[in-house]
A and B are shown apart, each in its own frame.
Chain A
């Protein structure tokens, strides 16, 4: 991916969110069959900003953000919206403590 210029973990998540670019977001999205729109980018930018603030993220947090509700979040990133959007946004995968 991206000619090996970015470091990713075994599951394809960026190790360093600072290496992310919108172009890279498009590339990752294509791998999961999502064509990114401006609406997607609004969510991706919100996630990146929150992650940088050191906030623990959850689907409900996104749903209560005032940006999108949970239904729309699912429509934008079907399947596992937070898991998939985090990957496209270049931030760590949502995990539990184990």
Chain B
């Protein structure tokens, strides 16, 4: 190749850069690698570490249902070989210059940027949470370290007051804390120590269930499993010495073992790039339908990193992925962004003893009862506790590694479907 030919080739190549190789980023890398013209587009994905954790599996680790090795793979094995995978720390995005700076000084120019940097638990946000009792009597289960330390603690714990506390409402996988409470009830029952354990679920919301249909269908579970709910409790600090949670209005909840769901935030790099919401939680203002950033038209955001009012969950990232692919292809072709995300989410709720419930909802429609994914036959039941749902949840691990991450389609529409759902007839007034 002559030097001028090489230069010409470089000039016409365009760069699509993905920040974050978690669920959303990996999925987008696979989809775009398949659908973009690779003679024109270079795809680069950046992440700070090599390990891909199956985050939905963290819930099962404390109870010995999954072993740590069940949730750990490498990121590289899920990325197409033709995608450049850079392991490095992102310093900031310079949106006006269309470039990303890595710590260490490397600069990556982009034509299109996808932010998929996710959300993390930040226990340091709450005074006393990471004090002297951290990983002794206070644990989280949203991290690999937290879940594995908690597993060891539960093995030998003799009983007492187990408190599950949500420090904030905007959290990843919002049903996981409730699943933890259900699984804890089953775990201690099977161990023969349930009578020595008091389980409390302490939440800033008005209850463990907040939507009318879910409340009606599932709230009996709490009574049945003797889980005490403390509503409207917004954690201000943890007193390690007295072992109590203290709320902003000075209510107190004592604990022997605290399982905390700490405040969730986006990554600090978002703030350093001046791209975060004004609330300082580092989530990126994003159009809730098109998934385009509100600040730069060539920047798109997916998954937990956005500030859209959808659940922060893998299923949401998956449904967003289909919409985002379509909109990026439209953007490249100078067409209007016509694909609209409707907030679709689909989540299993483990209830213990080999059973689970399933919910399917979007921005506008609350979880309703019915059958899923096919009307009448199911086999899974919406807002119902059964074995088919539990097997669905276990099968999801295989689906996650083999279908979801590789960017393939599931037999479930991106847009929520009303088929199979029971709609209450309007009452006449």
Contacts from A to B (Cβ < 8 Å): 10, 54-56, 58-61, 64-66, 70-71, 74, 78-83, 93-98
Let me know if A97 and B212 touch, CB within 8 A: no
Contact of B345 among A71, A74, A97 (CB under 8 A): A97
Query: For residue B209, which residues in chain A have a CB less than 8 angstroms away from its CB?
Result: 96, 98
Let me know if B307 and A97 touch, CB within 8 A: no
Let me know if A71 and B169 touch, CB within 8 A: no
Task: List 19 additional contacts besides A80-B206, A96-B209; criterion CB under 8 Å.
Answer: A55-B285, A59-B204, A59-B248, A60-B170, A61-B277, A61-B279, A61-B281, A64-B279, A78-B249, A80-B232, A81-B234, A93-B206, A94-B205, A95-B210, A96-B205, A98-B174, A98-B175, A98-B211, A98-B218
Contact of B288 among A10, A54, A60, A79 (CB under 8 A): A54
Query: For residue A98, which residues in chain B have a CB less than 8 angstroms away from its CB?
Result: 174-175, 178, 209-211, 214, 218, 349, 359, 367
B168 touches A (CB below 8 Å): yes
Nearest CB of B to A59, in Å: 5
The 7 A-B residue pairs with the shortest CB-CB distance in the complex, in nearest-first order: A56-B309, A95-B210, A98-B214, A64-B279, A80-B232, A61-B279, A54-B288
A56 to B178, CA, bound (A): 21
Residue of A nearest to B214 (CB): A98
A54 to B205, CA, bound (A): 20
Query: For residue B328, which residues in chain A have a CB less than 8 angstroms away from its CB?
Result: none
Residue of A nearest to B313 (CB): A97
Q: How many residues of B are in contact with the other chain, CB < 8 A?
A: 39
Let me know if B174 and A96 touch, CB within 8 A: yes
14 pairs, CB–CB < 8 Å, chain A vs chain B: A54-B288, A58-B170, A78-B249, A79-B249, A80-B231, A93-B206, A96-B169, A96-B209, A96-B210, A96-B211, A97-B347, A97-B359, A98-B174, A98-B209
From 188 to 245 in chain B, residues with beta carbon under 8 angstroms from any chain A beta carbon are 204-206, 209-212, 214, 218, 231-232, 234, 236
Query: For residue A95, which residues in chain B have a CB less than 8 angstroms away from its CB?
Result: 205, 210-211
Nearest CB of A to B340, in Å: 12
B116 touches A (CB below 8 Å): no
Query: For residue B263, which residues in chain A have a CB less than 8 angstroms away from its CB?
Result: 60
Let me know if A56 and B211 touch, CB within 8 A: no
Let me know if B278 and A66 touch, CB within 8 A: yes
Query: For residue B204, which residues in chain A have a CB less than 8 angstroms away from its CB?
Result: 58-59, 82
Query: For residue A94, which residues in chain B have a CB less than 8 angstroms away from its CB?
Result: 169, 205, 210
A74 to B259, CA, bound (A): 25
Let me know if B168 and A58 touch, CB within 8 A: yes
Let me know if B210 and A93 touch, CB within 8 A: yes
A56 to B345, CA, bound (A): 15
Query: For residue B414, which residues in chain A have a CB less than 8 angstroms away from its CB?
Result: none
Assuming the contacts A55-B309, A74-B249, asked whether A64 and B280 have C-beta atoms less than 8 A apart, the reply is yes
Identify which of A55, A64, A98 gathers the most chain B CB atoms within 10 Å of its CB.
A98
Contact of A59 among B178, B234, B285 (CB under 8 A): B234
A13 to B112, CA, bound (A): 42
Let me know if A97 and B361 touch, CB within 8 A: yes
Nearest CB of A to B389, in Å: 14
Nearest CB of A to B245, in Å: 15
Contact of B174 among A59, A64, A80, A97 (CB under 8 A): A97
Query: For residue B165, which residues in chain A have a CB less than 8 angstroms away from its CB?
Result: none
Query: For residue B212, which residues in chain A have a CB less than 8 angstroms away from its CB?
Result: 10
From 60 to 82 in chain B, residues with beta carbon under 8 angstroms from any chain A beta carbon are none
Assuming the contacts A61-B279, A64-B280, A98-B210, asked whether A56 and B205 have C-beta atoms less than 8 A apart, the reply is no
Residue of A nearest to B286 (CB): A54
Let me know if A74 and B248 touch, CB within 8 A: yes
Query: For residue A61, which residues in chain B have a CB less than 8 angstroms away from its CB?
Result: 170, 277, 279, 281
